[in-house]
A and B are shown apart, each in its own frame.
Chain A
């Protein structure tokens, strides 16, 4: 059911969806939102592309092709945030700067290690969800695995 209309809408919506996803991560430090929700939102945007253009066209997009790699990268980032403090003799998952300490601000955005952890989570969730969507889409269209 892919018409020119749906394709236009899908193409138009992709960028705003990613913007919302990023906003959800950033907002997570002052309001509701986190990397997991952002990853799911971004993956929904990709799902829309699959619906509108079919899996072949969708898989040509760079954000889809590198998603599984991004998931592994995200996992490494999150694990580094967790384990690097141990090198300095602190407990696992210690965040810097600590609670109540001074953090570098950019507007309302704070540069703290939990943000890095959340970006890792975002990449993991996004990569996993896009990978799962791709696998199911390929099998649904009866073409078998890659």
Chain B
């Protein structure tokens, strides 16, 4: 049962790859497959909530010999989130009309890669699934067919490939210093490793994930790619694929290298703050919707990094909560970016409120968690940063809102399909509903953070 969420999109992806994705029927089949996988992962989540984490070693080998697959709350939370975003993006694109025949299959294969990555308990297997989803992303960014976007997608592929190479070097280094590849084994061995190789290895892995996240000094690939692709692909990249970075830093930093994370906490705080300020300043000064949202994405991951940098139970809870909320925000905003209509306009406003952290939108709780974190730790500059960052995001989001929706319509734009509007509205509605009734989400992030060692359940 436990791998159903992985098996369904994998088989489905192969079958859909044979069909012509431009046909509506293929799109509907792909949506059905992804929905089945989404439901399977929710069922998994309920099972874990009732009976605790599940573990399985492939091939019936002993633990530490075979590849371990592990289902825990942290992994399942990110699986459900990523599959949900992918499902919404696929439905959105099918409603708008898919332009290339491979797009539905690519979404399914990316779902496979992401599910596998969040489920695996083996460092090298993590890399393999990571590459499956990245390869799907490389092809996806060239989707849309504009000749001048090809260069952006080429840069994306090359930069992220360097990130992958760094990551695999990091894994090899972990294997060298601990002699283990399974995460449980690494966790046991890491405290015995002397400081400098451990720090070096942790740094390499951190840089690899920062490239995926588009954190401040490694962000340069991000804006041209986000502005170049279609809204659905941009939503997938920022809502689903960027989760790899957050999950990776949480899993490798919080779970496997807690000692090194504690030592490097200040670096994370500095990089996070720089990301927030840089992203917000750039977003205010930019003119096009895509660019504003891209720089906003750079700024938002800064908050997640700050929460991880502060660390401890409250820090990890805040980071998970912020990651989930940020994915939903970005999905709603990118969907609403190029559409017209009152539903979309309302959805964009909700997304903007959520990014700025204004109740009743869900983003309020993300900002609140960080606020509390800063106040508890007596880090007043974190509180100030969250406040200033929130104010700046309020400015740029409503600048953007003004350009996009308060202008009278030109009249020559193509009418937006109603289904696409409804999907955008549904994501926004989820933001409000969870904002009004946030307890399940708060409980989920509490539970997910309890997976990380040093954090009592």
Residues of A within 8 A of B (CB): 69, 72, 75-76, 79, 83, 86, 90-95, 98
Contacts and interface: CB of A to CB of B under 8 A. Distances in A.
18 contacts: A69-B18, A72-B17, A72-B18, A76-B11, A79-B7, A79-B10, A79-B11, A83-B7, A90-B60, A91-B57, A91-B58, A91-B59, A91-B60, A92-B59, A93-B58, A93-B66, A95-B59, A98-B60
Contacts of B60: 90-91, 94, 98
Contacts of A76: 11, 14
Contacts of A91: 56-60, 66
B43 interface: no
Max chain B CB contacts within 10 Å: which of A72, A92, A93, A98?
A92
A94 B3 contact: no
Interface string B104-138: 00000000000000000000000000000000000
Contacts of B17: 72
B140 interface: no
Interface of B: 1, 3, 7, 10-11, 14, 17-18, 56-60, 66-67, 69
Contact of B3 (A69, A83, A95, A98): A83
Contacts of A93: 58-59, 66-67
Q: Which 8 A-B pairs have the closest CB atoms?
A: A93-B58, A93-B59, A83-B7, A94-B60, A91-B60, A92-B58, A91-B56, A72-B14
A91 B62 CA distance: 11
A4 B14 CA distance: 41
B11 A86 contact: no
B37 to A, nearest CB: 13
A90 B66 CA distance: 14
Given A83-B3, A86-B3, A92 B14 contact: no
Contacts of A95: 59
Contacts, number: 36
A76 B58 CA distance: 18
Contacts of A79: 7, 10-11, 14
Contacts of A75: 14
Nearest to A75: B14
A36 to B, nearest CB: 14
Contacts of B57: 91
A96 to B, nearest CB: 11
Contacts of B67: 93
Contacts of B1: 86
Nearest to A92: B58
B123 to A, nearest CB: 18
A90 B17 CA distance: 29
A93 B59 CA distance: 5
A95 B66 CA distance: 13
A51 B417 CA distance: 50
A51 to B, nearest CB: 28
Contacts of B10: 79
A95 B60 CA distance: 9
Contacts of B18: 69, 72
B255 to A, nearest CB: 22
Contacts of B56: 91-92
Nearest to B11: A79
A94 B59 contact: yes
Contacts of A98: 60
A90 B1 CA distance: 11
A94 B56 CA distance: 11
B11 A92 contact: no
Nearest to B10: A79
B244 to A, nearest CB: 22
Nearest to A83: B7
A13 B58 CA distance: 40
Nearest to A76: B14
Contacts of A69: 18
A98 B61 CA distance: 11
A93 B56 CA distance: 11
A40 to B, nearest CB: 19
A6 B218 CA distance: 51
Contacts of B69: 92
A26 B176 CA distance: 34
Max chain B CB contacts within 10 Å: which of A69, A86, A90?
A86
A127 B174 CA distance: 34
A114 to B, nearest CB: 10
B150 to A, nearest CB: 14
A95 B17 CA distance: 28
